[in-house]
Structure 1
């Protein structure tokens, strides 16, 4: 049974509408639509809606089995080569939509790390075009989650819970999300240094003065386009800021996350940073600590070709505010929208107001008990997970 067979056609249609309407597509724009073959019905619905907007879709879908064979059979040297036709397609496109590519996330945990690193390196030129790191304007993009029974088993939740988090999370009206994001943005406007704590050991400072406050309401509107904020994650529902990359210190506790290379679950990570930069030798995790550290080190190697290496520098401070997301499960796409939580990412942030280019962008989400204080005014923005 396909995952889409478990989701009603009405829900598929509404999700497709949320994705396409959020892209602010124009007549004549070229749209690449990519996803797992298990999402084919959704991909095609998105394609039809693109046509209705006057845009021109190109759909690409692959199976888990194909991906497994690529990482099993294809040599590392081939995976390290940037596919020139794909790069050309990205350059000629105006928008890029990705739906969760894997039906079963477990399959990624079996891919050899060396080959994952090779493909990450091959994707650097593609990433730079997509996110405007090559000096160009970048492309409008959306990444949307999609539930499957296999994914539910992987994250250790009931399928109904995963569908609720993703599908209901996508369905929250942009107007509702905008109320939440606007409220938070107003509280943060003009702030300099923030002090963030929670009940699990998180205690750090970061500086945001002069940095753009991005409101993720699920819509790429004309204001976003003018400001270069061209991306959407769905479910949406957060505000996010690129803090000053070389300022800030302290500790951040993340109960659960996913390794950026192997997709293995990492539990109870404690990250320490100073002058905005992770102190890797002091960072720990109760489960898969070695995977976490190795992923940062591999991206450090890939980023060594950049003029300035920012792999382990603070890249993002985000605050979740989607009312349909009520628990963290390890799926970063929904976890970072959890009300009462904050998340900090390390690595790349050029596309939303920062100065860092990197092959790494990794979000670490706190427990939903965060307290945020403006040190300039002593004003509490959030207290034990509740927005003030």
Structure 2
């Protein structure tokens, strides 16, 4: 896999998105399933003159589960860390602590060879950054969110919470996010969400869904999931705080596609996503050991009195 094309893409990602410089310490964290992509990034880092280290760990059971302590410690020591894993390390204390220590961190949960060569990775990241920063501003200033689609409506408060930009460009100490990227997201105020939302894109850990999933939320908690994927989703989230609404996000990458891998799906321009579970790493209070994203195509979204999305079309 680590042929010339792979190495060239890896070099471009490390330079353009992470600003990797000669002699910087770069850590590539991979699991057994994503080892080949990890190796391509490791080879590229060496070519760029960095002090490169590749750590391969056992695959985690679910997104949001912590890596081994040795990996967590190494992430804090590096200038740059890239996490290429089947399940996401984005919402872990390991990533949060590495960022606090000044590490530039990019997470690539579930990335596939196709995604590495095509789609969202090929976006103009300056353009993505501009739109992402603009949408993040609306989230940060906003108080109330309303999502409307096919007769379903979900409302929740975001008052006092900071919007988070995932721009795909992480050049300064302590900046982090997904790659490929392009989303603005926020932690809704716990306990405020109520209503219904129709999920028709994809679900992390399940993939593209053939039939829509109707979710009912009361007092910030998922109380039912109607549809073929419902039982599996509830099982993945568990009975406890995994069922609390933890995230609301808006995709800002016009090159991203719905592939069944949520890393790319949640970045698609014209989609939104909600997640249940942990949000303590980006401004919330939920610490559940699980974080599952669900993607919705072409909704209407209102922030306070401003219509931000009209059937997926950005209005700002």
What's the TM-score once normalised by structure 1's chain length?
A: 0.67
Instruction: Say if 2:279 is the partner of 1:349.
Output: yes
1:130 equivalent among 88, 95, 98: 95
Instruction: Say if 2:49 is the partner of 1:52.
Output: yes
1:272-311 correspondence runs (5 A): 272-279=216-223, 282-287=224-229, 289-297=230-238, 300=240, 310-311=241-242
Structure 2 portions without partners, runs of 5+: none
Alpha carbons of structure 1 residues 32 and 208: separation in structure 2 relative to 1, 3 Å? same
Q: Which has the higher helix share?
A: 1
Alpha carbons of structure 1 residues 25 and 180: separation in structure 2 relative to 1, 3 Å? same
SS at match of 2:236: helix
> Which residue does 2:202 correspond to in 1?
257
| Count of matched residue positions in the alignment of Structure 1 and Structure 2 | 306
1:1-16 correspondence runs (5 A): 2=1, 9-10=4-5, 12-16=7-11
Alpha carbons of structure 1 residues 82 and 220: separation in structure 2 relative to 1, 3 Å? closer
CA RMSD of aligned residues (A): 3.6
Instruction: Say if 2:264 is the partner of 1:334.
Output: yes
Q: Which has the higher strand share?
A: 2
Q: In the TM superposition, what whole-angstrom CA distance separates every residue of 1:62-105 from its partner, at most 9, and x where no partner exists?
A: 8xxx97xx99xxxxxxxx99855445444544543123559xxx
> Which residue does 2:132 correspond to in 1?
181
Give the Cα–Cα distance (whole angstroms) in 1 for the partners of residues 126 and 180 of structure 2.
14
> Which residue does 1:360 correspond to in 2?
290
> Which residue does 1:212 correspond to in 2?
162
SS at match of 2:11: helix
1:1-388 correspondence runs (5 A): 2=1, 9-10=4-5, 12-24=7-19, 28-29=24-25, 31-34=27-30, 36-39=34-37, 42-48=40-46, 52-53=49-50, 56-61=51-56, 85-90=70-75, 92-101=77-86, 127-132=92-97, 137=101, 140-144=104-108, 146-148=111-113, 162-163=114-115, 167-199=118-150, 201-222=151-172, 225=174, 230-258=175-203, 260=205, 263=206, 267=210, 268-279=212-223, 282-287=224-229, 289-297=230-238, 300=240, 310-325=241-256, 327-367=257-297, 369-375=298-304, 378-388=305-315
What's the TM-score once normalised by structure 2's chain length?
A: 0.80
Question: Conserved in 2, the CA contact under 8 Å of 1:240 and 1:318?
Answer: yes
Q: In the TM superposition, what whole-angstrom CA distance separates every residue of 1:130-165 from its partner, at most 9, and x where no partner exists?
A: 3239x96585422236434xxxxxxxxxxxxx45x8
Question: Conserved in 1, the CA contact under 8 Å of 2:6 and 2:40?
Answer: no
Alpha carbons of structure 1 residues 94 and 16: separation in structure 2 relative to 1, 3 Å? same
Alpha carbons of structure 1 residues 341 and 100: separation in structure 2 relative to 1, 3 Å? same
Q: In the TM superposition, what whole-angstrom CA distance separates every residue of 1:153-192 from its partner, at most 9, and x where no partner exists?
A: xxxxxxxxx45x8633112122110222133234445221
Alpha carbons of structure 1 residues 52 and 334: separation in structure 2 relative to 1, 3 Å? same
Higher-Rg structure is 1
Question: Conserved in 2, the CA contact under 8 Å of 1:252 and 1:271?
Answer: yes
Alpha-carbon offset, residue 22 of structure 1? 2.6
Structure 1 portions without partners, runs of 5+: 72-79, 103-119, 149-161, 301-309
